[in-house]
Amino acid sequence: MGSRRFSHFTTGLLVIFVALALVVTASASTTNVIFTFAGGADGEYADTDLVVDSAGAIYGTTVRGGLHGGGTVFQLAPSATGWHHTVLYNFTGGADGGEPYKGVTLDSQGNLYGTTVTGGGGVCEGGCGVAFKLTRSGSNWFHSVIHTFSGRNDGSGPGSGLTIDRLGNLYGMTPTGGAFGVGVIYRLRPHPDGTWGLRVLHPFTGGADGGGGSAGRLLLHGGYLFGVATTGGAHGKGVAFRLSHTPDGKWHYLTLYPFKGQPDAGFPYGGLTFDKSGNLYGTTYYDGANNLGCVYELSPNSNGTWIEKVLYSFKGGQDGSRSIANVVFDAAGNLYGTTSEGGAGFGTIFKLAPGANGTWTETVAYRFQGSPDGAFAYNPMVVDSAGNIYGATVHGRPQRRRHHLQIHPVTYFIAAKRKKNARDASPGRFSDRPQTS
């Protein structure tokens, strides 16, 4: 399960993507279609994190489709008449990479960075993947490969997004490859001549330090990198970790918490989220009280250790189950996230509201219906500067054509209109001290 890719590809699938807005209020949740992907050249299977720029444009990736079938990077720009979709790049699956999972990262100049799990070169069948850059020049975009993974010590199949610091260094993880075959944490540093250098900061061993970097991107906070490994650890259920840069130029890996499994959390696939008090939050796909996944909190002690607490265990059925993504805060301090299963059978959006004495109350904010609003939310949601919340699903409504049942994948976008404050999950509110060597 640790290296499982949550793909539901079907041979001959006709794919249509739909974008939705869901307005979450105190009394009700409603949806409105704001954009429909036609499939094919527009892209297919949006297993993507989303990023929003200062103008409100949304960027993401599709794993398949595009002109060459190798996936796309896309932009959705708001306008007076709706949302305008543009494919910024079509992957060929060759040296430029193929199957870009988990979206792109935006830098201060408006350039985009991401990874693909196939293509490039190396020892892997179909290629070990690449890290790429899309450089913006006016209205044009230019693609360049900044690293081709070999499948050896540098890892293979990078399926998580990239994290950028103030110096423009990029950080990421791979689920496979590396010195021990179970993934690495790496840094990509830009050089003055335009080339990039990769340094492995930590090779997972599959033992106490965990194995298989998760699909959730690394979190840069206070000069440290925080993340989770999906498997391994003292109990074989994955770990939460912290990576720090020492004065002598080395990197120190510290396991913050080894997940213990049922009724504790187990197998985290999403990333981590900080609150304003320095606590970390995440979800797991398995375990919890009902072995259907859970939401957990990690709190730091003054002695440097961390305490873990399961805030909610999913029950399955209408409640939802199997969360893959990280959570986000709204302005009132509520947590929102998604489950990949349950609800009406297509996954849910859930809400956890904080109460007295550290308690949390869970409600289902929305159950995906498959038609017409999409199904299976594999990815985290993101909050823009206005407090709107956006997300994506990978599938949608079933439809019969030519006597074959075909599934129409769907991308949704959620907008929760709220007043933004310092507790929103916005990267800009953290002191992200850049890593310098």
Q: Is 236 left (phi over 0), alpha (psi -120 to 50) or beta?
A: left
Q: Which two tokens stand for residue 166?
A: 């103030």
Out of 83-92, 294-303, 394-403, pick the least confident: 394-403
Asked if residue 218 has pLDDT above 60, the reply is yes
Please give the pLDDT value at position 13.
28
Please give the pLDDT value at position 33.
55
CA distance readout (Å), 251 to 60, 256, 416: 31, 15, 39
Please give the pLDDT value at position 36.
65
For range 296-306, the mean pLDDT: 94
Please give the pLDDT value at position 32.
55
Please give the pLDDT value at position 34.
62
Comparing 112 with 35, which gets the higher pLDDT? 112
Out of 293-297, 336-340, 389-393, pick the least confident: 389-393
Q: Which amino acid is at 46?
A: A
HSE value, Cβ hemisphere, 13 Å, CA-based, for 369:
8
For range 337-366, the mean pLDDT: 93
Q: What is the pTM of this model?
A: 0.87
Comparing 413 with 10, which gets the higher pLDDT? 413
Please give the pLDDT value at position 192.
95
Comparing 337 with 393, which gets the higher pLDDT? 337
The sign one gets for the Cα dihedral 361, 313, 416, 115 is positive
Please give the pLDDT value at position 370.
80
Please give the pLDDT value at position 388.
76
Contacts of 389 (CB under 8 A, 6+ apart): 24, 328, 330, 336, 381, 382, 383, 414, 415, 416
Residue-wise pLDDT tens digits, 404-422: 333 334 444 444 443 333 2
Please give the pLDDT value at position 317.
96
For range 188-204, the mean pLDDT: 97
Spatial distance between the Cα atoms of 172 and 227, rounded to a whole number of angstroms: 10
Most confident of 32-41, 284-293, 351-360: 284-293
Asked if residue 169 has pLDDT above 50, the reply is yes
Spatial distance between the Cα atoms of 90 and 62, rounded to a whole number of angstroms: 10
For range 288-292, the mean pLDDT: 98
For range 91-102, the mean pLDDT: 97
152: closest CA among 174, 131, 132?
174
Q: Indicate the pLDDT class of residue 37, thresholds 50, 70 and 90.
A: low
Asked if residue 114 has pLDDT above 60, the reply is yes
* Mean pLDDT score of the chain: 84
